[in-house]
Amino acid sequence: MNIKAFFVEALTSALDLGIARPEDVVKHVTPDVLAQHLPRPLWARLLTACLGAPRVDAQLIVETIGVPNLAEHLPATIIWACIAEAGARSLGKQVDVHVAPAPLPVSTRPTPAPQPLTPPPPEVITSMPKATPPPMAAVGPSIPAPATGALADVISELETAEPSAPVRGRTPTSQRFRQSNTGIGRLGASQRRPQASATPSPLRTQRRGSTEVTDTESAEVVSPEIAVDDSQLVDWSTNENTHAGDDDFSDLGRKR
Amino acid sequence: MSQDQRQQWFARVVESGLQNQIFNPTDVLAHATPDVLATHLPAELLSKVLQASLAAGAMTPERVLETVTPELLAQHVPHEVLWACIAAAAARAGLTNVVVP
């Protein structure tokens, strides 16, 4: 006995011939029944169709799910209720048991079956709107807070970095490129050497060549400069290359 | 719903019920009794039934339904009778306890 095939044939032909209407089917195949018995993939198809349709009605539901799927997944008594109602109406009669209330076929089976079904949809529906506002409120304030904080930090770093450019500029570069830091310094010094060497003072050249090391040498260099530059200070102050050399040296660390 | 549509539907349901063994020819003739058939079938059809039975040497429900097809049943036999057959089969299958009289 292939009762499902019989159901499909009977119900399909009833719908095709106008013996039954989709509303008659949905009267028995209620959303609760579908929620209990219809597989999730078919639910996904049904939801997709409902979302894309301008109007959701019984015809859309029945056509989307399809009679074969209804007969396959729903209890036979429910499908039979649809067929029985169609047959009774075609004869001008009414099947009291099936026609009276929609949940009758369900109520004839187990009473607890429909009850657990009814709560879940409302819970999901009620929980959705309740859950929606809190995230909105939480997202609003939370977004600007870190953004302003981060921007403030960046701005403060930039502002503080400019005055203390040599300190902060060298520190990160030395941390990132420790091995190449000395090399970079030497490269920078070697690049600037021609400019320094172009200057008249040979002391400058020596000092720049050893600037990487420490301040002790600069102190050593400075002392002889003071003695020598008394007559040359004016020329050095007017010379932009010498100042650029000092500035460029500090810039080298920042650029790197 | 027109009479033609209802007739067509009953024909399909009866045919499907027979094909899917929801009920068998004996179940059909239990409702479409000889009296019912004799009352509602046209004379030509009754003649064919008798001729087929004579040729086969016996009249069985299967042979009757070979001649009186579901389409002819739905065309001539009252639909209430056919529905009673369908509903009784459903009740036997445990689908419902209610049988439309």
Q: Tell me: the pLDDT tens digits for B25-84?
A: 999 999 998 889 888 988 888 888 888 887 888 888 998 999 999 999 999 999 999 999
Cβ contact A102:A36 at 8 Å: no
pLDDT the model gives residue A218: 46
Cα atoms found within 13 Å of the Cα of residue A43, Cβ hemisphere only: 10
Task: Please state, in angstroms and rounded to a whole number, the distance separating the CA atoms of residues A38 and A160.
Answer: 65
A91-115: burial string, b at 16+ Cβ within 10 Å, e else: beeebebbbeebbbbbeeeeeebbe
ipTM beyond cut 0.90: no
Task: Please state, in angstroms and rounded to a whole number, the distance separating the CA atoms of residues B70 and B90.
Answer: 18
Contacts of A76 in chain B (CB under 8 A): 93, 95
Percent of chain A exceeding pLDDT 70 equals 36
Q: What are phi and psi of A92, to 5 degrees?
A: 80, 15
Interface test with A, best of B3, B12, B14, B31 (most A CBs within 10 A): B12
pLDDT the model gives residue B51: 84
Q: Does B96 touch chain A (CB under 8 A)?
A: yes
What is the rounded average pLDDT for all residues in chain A? 63
Do A91 and B79 count as a contact with CB atoms less than 8 A apart?
Answer: yes
Cβ contact B78:B16 at 8 Å: no
Along the 256 residues of chain A, how does pLDDT read in single tens digits? 788 999 999 999 999 998 899 999 999 998 889 888 989 888 888 888 888 888 888 998 899 999 999 999 999 999 999 999 999 888 887 665 443 343 443 333 444 444 444 344 444 344 444 444 444 444 444 445 444 555 556 566 666 655 544 444 444 444 444 444 444 444 444 444 545 545 454 444 444 444 444 444 444 444 445 565 565 555 555 555 555 444 445 555 454 4
